[in-house]
Amino acid sequence: MKPKLLIAILILAYCVIPATAQTLRSPDGKFELNFKLSAAGEPTYNLSYKKRPVLNDSKMAFAIKDQPSFASHFTLVDSKTGTHDETWKPAWGEVSSIRDHYNELAVTLQQVSDKPGSSDSRKMTRRLVIRFRLFDDGLGFRYEFPVQDELKYFQLNEERTEFSLTGDHKAFWIPGCYDSQEFAYNTTKLSEIHAMKGKYVDLEADKKVFADNAVQTPLMLKSDDGLYINIHEAALTNYPAIYMMVDRDDFGLTTHLAPNAVGSAAFLQTPAKTPWRTVIVSDNAADILASKMILNLNEPTKIANTSWIKPQKFVGVWWEMHIGTGSWNYSDTNNVKIDEVDWKTLKPNGKHAATTANVKRYIDFAAANGIDGVLVEGWNVGWEDWYGNWKENVFDFVTPYPDFDVRELQRYAAAKKVKLIMHHETSASAANYERRIDEAFRFMKANGYDSVKTGYVGRIIPRGESHDGQTMVNHYSFVAETAAKYRIMIDSHESVRLTGLSRTYPNWLAAEAARGNEYNAWSVGNPPEHETILPFTRLMGGPMDYTPGIFEIKLNVYDPAKKEVVHTTLAKQLALYVTLYSPLQMAADLPQNYEKRMDAFQFIRDVAVDWDDTWIAEAEPGDYLTIARKAKGRLNWFIGAITDENSRVSTVPLDFLPADEKYAVTIYADAKDADWDKNPMAYTIESYIADSKTVLKLALAKGGGAAVSIRPATRTDLFRLKPYAP
């Protein structure tokens, strides 16, 4: 062969066959992703930030039932790059617009292997696409299975994506429980997680199932050299939730999927894709909270007209059940079957909270204080036969107790311009709820309800499924989609942790999926650091219904024998309305407790639930957090500052305010002698004149906080208020 022809062939081959190593950089150039195939044909990636390694070489693999290993012997058959830059407007959120800007690399891999069970050495060919998106705040990647003969329908046993960290980072974590996220956070080195094994055994009577040496996402990490790293997932649909296995000596993490009833992970049909795996990184903790990458990795809204979706504040007959002064159940008779009893013949227990008269009291309070809605739990029959029994047809979602007059309350609430919020406790029987959901939603709309709080307490039915498995992940999406057809908003409790799906289903306003304020009512409670960790963990995936606003901190006022306390000051409870974001915020305490402190309750009346802008003044996971937010369509700003068990001073420059404008600033702060344990309800309220040059100094007590309301100053304000001086 002539030399010139040989050179031409080599050049042509170089142009057609992609290089096995690929490099991708973020739009600002701070992140660099490298993808390659190892000598054994293993897909491998690494990630750096500002030339500092974040993830060392990390492998990517799957285990598929009754098929050869899907981990090595790949070849690269195609590679495509692209860029994307657009700005979109969420239906509600922390900001009014979000920039979606990334560079993308999609690699197509092919594996040829021996066909299992074949005696004549026949080969099978399988393909896999790995799609990387590199943003200015981090990395998202997912796997895509194209339509192909060898993978038409398949049972996925496991995903083994590695995150090979560079050291023994500090981790903020909860254990890998398939059925609950309601744990207090541990703060340890990665190497110490092994030693915690067994701590969570037999926490509850229903024996929740844990994965050994696994932790849940979102997982927040901090390296010794000051890098903040958050690992989670985005757009979780038709797939199990991931956990991180912490079982390697090199500080590497490997994904583990919540199993289904037959012991595998997922049933898939091509074309199929996994959720995005997300790695958000910065040398500034505030940047982690400001990231919108998880939202950007979700699909745009499936709801064409979102005008009916309304962020709101609400009160409700909820806290009185948790503190023991009220009950969900109408009667104390046990094992009452909803279809075999005349409820009017049962003897009331005298503590039932969801009575017509009691709900009217909450409606009156809401109407008098500009609160949008009233949540009513325990209104429907079945509560005598649910907890611990785990039967399939406990609730029908349309039959009220004898003392709950649906029609009268509909009339009364409408006259007061207050919306009632439905409660659907499913007792974890997803199958029963799906059968009855259309009837339940029609009942809601016929009686004036536009929002529902769903609950999934207990072991999932169908038996063997878990809260975080593929079956239930699909169920939660099904509920959101069905609710959208009826123009109903969802607040899910005991559901899978959120992954940014509020962009796709903006009627899914909030979820619990973490240890909420209720634990302060009947357990050892939430430690003072808890609320400083949640924004870096659970809330990375979406809003949380934490139920803040408890004013009566020491609960022995209801029963001298009660030892429980809320592990915050009263001022911190106010600050949580800003620091723990949700478009659905409950004023969780009893009306009479607010009526005793209406000066402090004024902040709850004023604070917004939907925002144009958010600025994070200072942040450190597990220690402190200060956030300022601008109310949607208004000139008002609100600030929340919280701390852990240590007192501190939060410094907040008001340079986000327009120059040359004067503002009235009202500060709800811990009193000088306030302390979450010794003197939690001591607070002060002071008002001043301030402007963009003002720097607030907010003194936070142990377990304390401060809330600030900022509005344009009136002439009267300028006359009566003094300029702020620290």
Name the token pair of 442: 């029609």
Are the CB atoms for 430 and 456 separated by under 8 Å? Answer: yes
CB under 8 Å to 263, separation ≥6 — which residues?
A: none
Give rounded-to-5 percent helix, strand, coil for the chain. 20, 35, 45
Name the token pair of 653: 């420059």
- Cis ω on the peptide bond leading into residue 271 (within 30° of 0)? yes
- β-strands 373-376, 312-317 pairing: parallel
Cβ density class 588-617: b for 16+ within 10 Å, e for less: bbbbebbeeeeebbbbbebbbbbbbebbbb
Closest C-alpha to 212, from 232, 198, 231: 198
Q: How many CB atoms lie within 10 A of CB 257?
A: 25
Residue 518 annotated as catalytic = yes
Out of 94, 162, 518, 552, pick the active-site residue: 518
DSSP string, 109-178: EEEEEEPTT-SS--EEEEEEEEEEEEETTEEEEEEEE---GGGSEEEEEEEEEEEEESS--EEEE-EEES
Name the token pair of 623: 């220690």
DSSP string, 282-317: ESSHHHHHH--HHHHTSPPPS-S--TT---EEEEEE
Which residue has 């009202």 as its token pair?
Answer: 666
457 to each of 99, 104, 501, how far by Cα in Å? 38, 41, 22
Q: How far apart are CA 372 and CA 181, in angstroms?
A: 29
Name the token pair of 585: 């915020």
Are the CB atoms for 95 and 611 separated by under 8 Å? Answer: yes
Q: How far apart are CA 148 and CA 359, in angstroms?
A: 58
Are the CB atoms for 330 and 402 separated by under 8 Å? Answer: yes
CB under 8 Å to 592, separation ≥6 — which residues?
A: none
- To 10 degrees, what angle do helices 430-446 and 470-485 make? 10
Which residue has 């099978």 as its token pair?
Answer: 124
In SS3 terms, 473-535 reads as: HHHHHHHHHHHHHCCCEEEECCCCCCCCCCCCCCCEEEECCCCCCCHHHHCCCCCCCHHHHHH
Closest C-alpha to 570, from 592, 591, 590, 554: 554
* Helix-then-strand count for the chain, H and E: 14, 35
Q: How far apart are CA 160 and CA 255, in angstroms?
A: 5
Per DSSP, the three-state class of 437 is helix
Are the CB atoms for 375 and 317 separated by under 8 Å? Answer: yes
Q: How many CB atoms lie within 10 A of CB 42?
A: 16
Residues belonging to the active site: 518
